[in-house]
Chain A
Amino acid sequence: MSTTTSDRTLAPKNDVAASPVTYKLPDEPLTKIKGGRSWSFFDFKELWSYRELLYFLTWRDLKVRYKQTILGVGWVVAQPLMMTLIFTVFLGLLARVPTGGVPYPLIAYSGLLPWMFVAGGISGCSVSLLANSNLITKVYFPRVLIPTAYIITRLLDFAISFLLFGGLLAIYRYGLHYPLTLSRSFLTLPMLMVLMTMFTLSLGILLSCMNVKYRDLSIGLPLFIQLWMFVSPVIYPAWVVPEKWRTLYFLNPLAGIIEGFRSALLGQPLNMFGLAVSTVATIVLFFFSALIFRRIEKSFADVI
């Protein structure tokens, strides 16, 4: 584009008189801003009015994530497959973890499927607000949309890995003739997914807002996640744990969720105690996180 002097037209002076108003003022203020800290819960009506932004944030995260990568969405498939392969070689074939006759790859994959969602979800959420600090310091919108958008992108990854697991099951059932049957516990799968998503989201939003204030979190979290994987039934079935310790074991809310997935997918009976613990923990955690998040959300722009 050329910038010749002829392009610089002299604009007429603006009319300084106040212009006629075409907008009719409402009686009640649309927005009320009040100082001072207070406890509150998510404003679902407001969140609903921001649904399009949630869509765009999710869409952006998805678009950007695999730009300039060669494998692209292939990574979503590669990750659980590689992990399953490694664990199968070392734990299934070499260390011979007892599986009760179930092929080890199925044990590992059915545990890794929810685990990778939870682990990826919380670690991604924990840095999500920091990664979007440019938005937080410049525009208003309900901040919880940021970690939520991230969780939604992870759900899409989960769906892809889930389909892959379907393929794996089909290979075992029809290719290797391993006797797999669907039991009634399969029907709990949608509920398990809701539970897993809510648990991850609750923990994710809590960590995301804590991380804004205390950066220790981003250092400590990877270690914590690693430890958590070993105390959860990810790469071994829960019944490997001795009977007398099992109640204590299932106090870990993730144990109930992961073992629940395994039972539902492999047609085994569900551990009701574990599921009850997970459900209660998720509900409590959700309310707790929401209150904390809402309370410190307003000061994000000042401390981020």
Chain B
Amino acid sequence: MKPIIKVENVSKQYRIGSREVGSDLDQSIGRAFFGPLRWLNGARNRTHYEHIWALKDISFEVQPGELLGIVGRNGAGKSTLLKVLSRVTEPTTGQIELFGRLESLLEVGTGFHPELTGRENIYLNGAILGMKRQEIKGKFDEIVAFAEISQFLDTPVKFYSSGMYLRLAFAVAAHLEPEILVVDEVLAVGDAEFQQKCLGKMGEISKHGRTVLLVSHNMASIMNLCQRALLLKEGRIVEAGNPGEVVQNYLSTSRSGNGEVVWLDLEAAPGNEMVRLLSVRILQQGVEGPTADVDISREVLIEITYQNLEEGSPLYTGIWLRDQLATYVLSSANLPSMSLGEDPWYGQPHPLGVFRSICRIPGNFLNEGPYSVTAIVGKVPSKTQILEDRVLVFRVHDTGEMRKEYLGHWVGTVRPRLDWHTEQIETAAPVRELESSAAGSFVLE
């Protein structure tokens, strides 16, 4: 089939260095005096620029009606790619052919003016996003209903709550009807309920035969909504294909921190003359080396390596886990009553040497999001020697394993799989019988 988007060898170079001419007073004064002289000397390239390739040799095609997901770390070039596609900025080299009207949604509420009313902003924003006046008129009631702001329609949006503002902004955007829609991260806004509504709308848009390009950090929505995904790394496409595989690959290769802290200098390492910390690492089965990005459905290993410097001290190890609001999710240690197996080294006199403790946190237990690890090494009975607070952060990614039915946000610091069982415990008379009997006539019409 003929593609609707054809991208050929697109590269985009950015010049970094002196981006803003004249931001530095000294520099601009100097330039004012010496600039003309240097120009006469022919030395025009007086500022040394560094160049980076935000995109390098990007080629791909998108079929009509396809929902293509784009994943990659921050700075991998996702946003630049969308900007080039939506003509906000031009590629340095390469060519793109679009066989349909493209509208882009790089943020919600582009061009909203705080002084204007909700009604006025619907028209203004619609026009900016590429809708015709007639089109906006035709969808006006629908937009207002979707945003649930009808009673504030004639209030300037500067008086709106942030939730109302976002709802209105998304409502306008959701009613765009281009052949190609380009969306960047907008799903990450609003409350859970509204996010759910937006996700539903995205699916609906693509069901109507429109082509959608979606950049998201939400792996679950990429896996559940898209038919195909691209993985970008340092401006290049490193993988394209099945969203499941691409997401897996992304999680195993990308490092949003490196998932490990190592102290090379024993003197500077946390601890005292008795025991010193050597490293703390986050590991996951099937992933080589430490990683800060973990899959929600698989076991997470927290590895604490320490060196015992005092012959025969009875040591124990422990961790704290906190979420992004610094709420304690759990604390755990290798005490026999607190662990599943029995740790042979708990409280045993340690000879001199290096030891490694591994704590296994089951898969399908933590919720998605960042968690911080605090590493603890102590001497039995309960004399803490090392407490390295929030030594590491790792992020749990929802890969869709735990969300096949519901795409919205699951609240909670943990998301364990629990046992559910529903049964019918009473049989009621069918409605029809109630209707015919005189006694039940008040129940239903």
Contact = CB atoms under 8 A, between A and B. Distances in A.
B9 to A, nearest CB: 9
Interface in A55-103: 55-56, 59-60, 63-64, 67-68
A141 B22 CA distance: 28
B22 A298 contact: no
Contacts of B207: 15, 19
B65 A11 contact: no
Given A3-B191, A11-B196, A32-B96, A134 B111 contact: yes
Contact of B115 (A10, A26, A34, A68): A68
Interface of B: 2, 4, 6, 10-12, 14, 19-22, 28, 63-67, 83-102, 104, 106-107, 110-111, 113, 115-116, 120, 123-124, 127-130, 132-133, 148, 179, 191-193, 196, 199-200, 203, 206-210, 224-227, 404-408
Given A14-B224, A35-B11, A302-B14, A215 B88 contact: no
Nearest to A136: B88
Given A8-B196, A8-B408, A33-B98, A21 B65 contact: yes
A18 B63 contact: yes
B100 A23 contact: yes
A298 B89 contact: yes
Given A11-B406, A14-B203, A25-B64, A140 B116 contact: no
User: Main SS of the interface on chain B?
Assistant: loop
13 contacts: A13-B224, A15-B203, A19-B65, A23-B210, A25-B99, A33-B84, A33-B95, A34-B96, A36-B92, A64-B116, A139-B104, A140-B86, A299-B89
Contacts of B4: 25
Given A22-B209, A35-B91, A29 B129 contact: no
A14 to B, nearest CB: 4
Contact of B128 (A7, A135, A137): A135
Contact of B123 (A20, A56, A136, A299): A56
Contacts of A12: 405
A248 interface: no
Contact of B99 (A29, A33, A214): A29
B231 to A, nearest CB: 18
A29 B227 contact: no
Interface string A23-41: 1011001111111100000
Contacts of A299: 89-90
Given A19-B206, A23-B100, A135 B89 contact: no
A243 interface: no
A78 B160 CA distance: 34
A140 B95 contact: no
Contacts of B96: 31-34
B427 to A, nearest CB: 25
Contact of B64 (A9, A14, A21, A138): A21
A24 B95 CA distance: 22
Nearest to B93: A35
Nearest to A11: B200
Contact of B405 (A13, A55, A60): A13
A11 B89 contact: no
Contacts of A67: 115
A301 B179 CA distance: 24
A93 B97 CA distance: 68
A303 interface: yes
**Those 6 A-B pairs whose CB atoms lie nearest each other, nearest first:** A140-B87, A29-B97, A35-B91, A33-B96, A56-B127, A298-B90
Given A18-B65, A214-B21, A63 B120 contact: yes
A10 B406 contact: yes
Given A19-B209, A35-B10, A63-B116, A139 B132 contact: no
A223 interface: no
Contacts of A31: 87, 96-98, 102
Nearest to B5: A29
Interface in A120-155: 134-141
Given A1-B148, A30-B98, A30-B101, A138 B110 contact: yes
A60 B114 CA distance: 11
Contacts of B99: 25-26, 29-30
Contacts of B83: 301
